[in-house]
Amino acid sequence: MRFPSSNSRSHDLYERAKNVLPGGNTRTTVFMKPYPIYASHGAGCRVWDVDGTERIDCINNFTAAIHGYAHPVLTQAATEQLKLGTAFGMPTSSEIDLAELLATRVASVEECRFANSGTEAVMNALKAARAYTGRPKIAKCEGAYHGTYDYAEVSLDSAPDAWGSNAPQSIPYAKGTPKGVTDDVVVIPFNNIDTSAEILRAHAGELAAIMVDPMPNRAGLVPASKEYLRMLREVASEIGALLIFDEVISFRLGFHGAQHIWGVDADLTVFGKIIGGGFPVGAVGGLRKFMAVFDPSHGKPALPQGGTFSANPMSMKCGFAAMELLDAAAFKHLDAIGAQARDGIDEAFRRADVVGCTTGRGSLLKIHFTEVDIQDYRSARPDAKATRKMEALMESLLNDGVLMASYGLVALSTPMTQDDVASVVAAVERSLKSLKN
């Protein structure tokens, strides 16, 4: 069924939802006008909506479902654990297994602490840095998304009228954010070495942490330069702040994650999404001396942290199984289809004679309607015309059998074949040509 249609089951479900959910919505990221499309089921790299329409899924629950849907190994792991119980007021051996795996893969991780989402993990990492250093402030890159913790949200979508010509401003994302929050967040420009170093050193005695995503999705999905990340590492060590890598998304870039690719070790690393095998998960990992703030074995820790469902065995078992599936061959396949998709869509822009390009790395890419050289949040921020084109592209792709994020993010999965990617590229080219007509 074509979207939108007032005769669709998704339309009817949305009318029901509006009576019990604010705006008919629980996740802003999946909101669509005039109504969202409701999922029925998924298999492999495909998803079906409640009207029976089949689409190639190029978002995979916002990068989390790296093995697509209903993978037999993950289904078996979930089914076996379901029979034993989903969560207990006791630890299980499954959390040890997943922590050992993460510690084996990431050189800067000796211990882990689990949570229920990337947002929780970011919050715990920032609180851990404050507990370890005794300092109040954190630094983050302008436009970078790190979940919904109020400190992490600062300057997520600052508008051009607030940019000015100087250093990025600390601007609240959500209404009602206390001024104390923005006062304790130092914002730096992504990929700008000199300005960022100057800002960080100016706040040297106050900074508990410098947090960075090496390829921030909302800031354009542009890889950080090695020089930029090395500067952050050097300055963090120099001023006594902890360097936090947010690898909730970028951990899918390689067997050892982003730190191995860029050759920079973090003090604390935040994980999520793919390490849960389709179930809610988050984690903070780091060297023992930093993770000791969580340690309750000698009395109240510097940072008490609980969570009714933290390290629940459903997430731990399925996460372990999912990570075992991500072997060297799996990453080689993801890298290959990712390059095929980026090259193919870039060529589709040329063939359709439409201004645009892709950014990204590995199994991730982002579509941009611009000819500007994208280096950071400001150069990636779409204007009104580009936003309208993106909305039109997404709707056209929905009606051509492809699902992607409303802001142009594409995340590929291991079940995808070269033929699947070729189908996606062909759909993008048809859609781009239709936009021009």
* Residues 250-292: tens digit of each pLDDT: 999 999 999 999 999 999 999 999 999 999 999 999 999 999 9
Cα–Cα distances in angstroms (integers) from residue 213 to residues 31, 148, 151, 232, 259, in the given order? 25, 15, 15, 12, 10
Poorest-pLDDT segment among 396-400, 406-410, 433-437: 433-437
Residue 162 pLDDT = 82
Runs of H (alpha helix) within 111-252 = 118-133, 150-153, 179-183, 193-202, 226-239
Helix, coil or strand: residue 336: helix
User: HSE (CB half, 13 Å, CA atoms) of 345?
Assistant: 25
Span 202-207, mean pLDDT?
Answer: 97
- Mean pLDDT, the chain, rounded, equals 97
Poorest-pLDDT segment among 163-172, 315-324, 364-373: 163-172
Residue 13 pLDDT = 98
Residue for token pair 């969202």: 36
Span 145-157, mean pLDDT?
Answer: 96
Q: How far apart are CA 38 and CA 15, in angstroms?
A: 12
Q: How far apart are CA 386 and CA 435, in angstroms?
A: 12
Residue 32 pLDDT = 94
Centre a 10 Å sphere on the Cβ of residue 379 and count the other Cβ atoms it contains. 16
Angle at 118 between CA 116 and CA 124, to 5 degrees: 80
What dotted CATH number matches 72-325?
3.40.640.10
Fold of 9-66+328-436: Aspartate Aminotransferase, domain 1 (3.90.1150)
Q: Is 166's pLDDT higher than 80?
A: no
Q: How far apart are CA 390 and CA 77, in angstroms?
A: 38
Q: Is 164's pLDDT higher than 80?
A: no
89: Cβ–Cβ under 8 A, 6 or more apart, which residues? Answer: none
DSSP character at residue 36: P
Q: How far apart are CA 240 and CA 193, in angstroms?
A: 19
The two structure tokens encoding residue 304: 């008490």
Span 62-79, mean pLDDT?
Answer: 98
Report cis status (omega within 30 of 0) of the bond before 91: no
Poorest-pLDDT segment among 67-81, 154-168, 297-311, 393-407: 154-168
Q: Is 420's pLDDT higher than 90?
A: yes
Residue 436 pLDDT = 76
Same CATH topology for 9-66+328-436 and 72-325: the answer is no
Cα–Cα distances in angstroms (integers) from residue 40 to residues 51, 136, 312, 392, 406, in the given order? 8, 46, 26, 24, 20
* Residues 3-32: tens digit of each pLDDT: 999 999 999 999 999 999 999 999 999 999
Q: Is 47's pLDDT higher than 90?
A: yes
Confidence label for 115 from pLDDT (cuts 50, 70 and 90)? very high
Q: How far apart are CA 412 and CA 395, in angstroms?
A: 19
Q: How far apart are CA 307 and CA 297, in angstroms?
A: 18
Residue 143 pLDDT = 96
Span 36-47, mean pLDDT?
Answer: 98
Q: How far apart are CA 390 and CA 405, in angstroms?
A: 10
Quick one: what percent of the chain has pLDDT higher than 90? 96
E strand or H helix at 436: helix 418-436
Residue 122 pLDDT = 98
Angle at 90 between CA 87 and CA 95, to 5 degrees: 75
- 333 close to 340: Cβ distance less than 8 angstroms: no
One-letter amino acid at 382 equals P
Q: What is the largest CA-CA distance in the chain?
A: 69
Residue 1 pLDDT = 87
- 283 close to 118: Cβ distance less than 8 angstroms: no
**Residue 157 dihedral angles phi and psi, to the nearest 5°:** -135, 40
Q: Is 437's pLDDT higher than 80?
A: no
- 14 close to 36: Cβ distance less than 8 angstroms: yes
Residue 163 pLDDT = 86
Q: Strand pairing partners for 243?
A: 210
Q: How far apart are CA 152 and CA 148, in angstroms?
A: 7
Residue 229, Cβ density class (10 Å: 0-12 exposed, 13-18 middle, ≥19 buried) = buried
Domain ranges within the chain, ordered by starting residue: 9-66+328-436, 72-325
Span 411-427, mean pLDDT?
Answer: 98
Give every strand in the sheet of 111-115, ordered side by side.
111-115, 282-286, 268-272, 242-246, 207-212, 137-141, 185-188
- 303 close to 208: Cβ distance less than 8 angstroms: no
Q: Is 165's pLDDT higher than 80?
A: no
Residue 426 pLDDT = 98
* Residues 337-380: tens digit of each pLDDT: 999 999 999 999 999 999 999 999 999 999 999 999 999 999 99
Residue 200 pLDDT = 98
The two structure tokens encoding residue 295: 């340690």
**For strand 357-361 and strand 137-141, is the pairing parallel, antiparallel, or unpaired?**
unpaired
Q: How far apart are CA 251 and CA 217, in angstroms?
A: 13
Q: Is 153's pLDDT higher than 80?
A: yes
Residue 161 pLDDT = 85
User: What is the residue-wise DSSP string for 96-151?
Assistant: HHHHHHHHHH-TT-SEEEEESSHHHHHHHHHHHHHHHH---EEEEETT----S-HH
